Amino acid sequence: MADNPRVYGIPFAQVYPLYTAKAEKKGRTKAEVDEIIRWLTGYSQKEIEAQVEQQTSFEQFFVEAPCLNPSRMKITGVICGIRVETIQEPTMQNIRYLDKLIDELAHGKAMAGILRD
């Protein structure tokens, strides 16, 4: 794991409140953030809470995801200056997918458009 980006080692518990704060600052809710995370990863609400409590790394959060949504491949666009659909490393791509979905939420996109089913 020495060659993995630093973000992989960050506890999901550290990033999760930042996602929630970003959404709430724009009038969205924690429930919507949770819905996005459940849609993307297949975690139940209790499993998300357990991952937060266990201080699971961001990398492990995605490695242990029960069922990554196959529709995540429909997520396109730029986050942090990089097109998410061109990221080669699967874990980094999944992290950026989540970043992109939260960004769309904060920018007022409807949940039906965010969850690409």
Q: Helix, strand, coil % (nearest 5) of the chain? A: 65, 5, 30
Residue 32: CA atoms inside 13 Å, Cβ hemisphere, count? Answer: 25
pTM exceeds 0.85, yes or no = yes
Domains of the chain: 9-114 (1.10.8.290)
51-54 own/partner pairs: CB under 8 Å, 24+ apart: 51/12, 51/13, 52/12, 52/13, 52/16, 53/13
Tokens encoding 78: 């730029």
Full pLDDT tens readout for the chain, 117 residues: 445 678 899 999 999 999 999 999 999 999 999 999 999 999 999 999 999 999 999 999 999 999 999 999 999 999 989 999 999 999 999 999 999 999 999 999 999 999 987
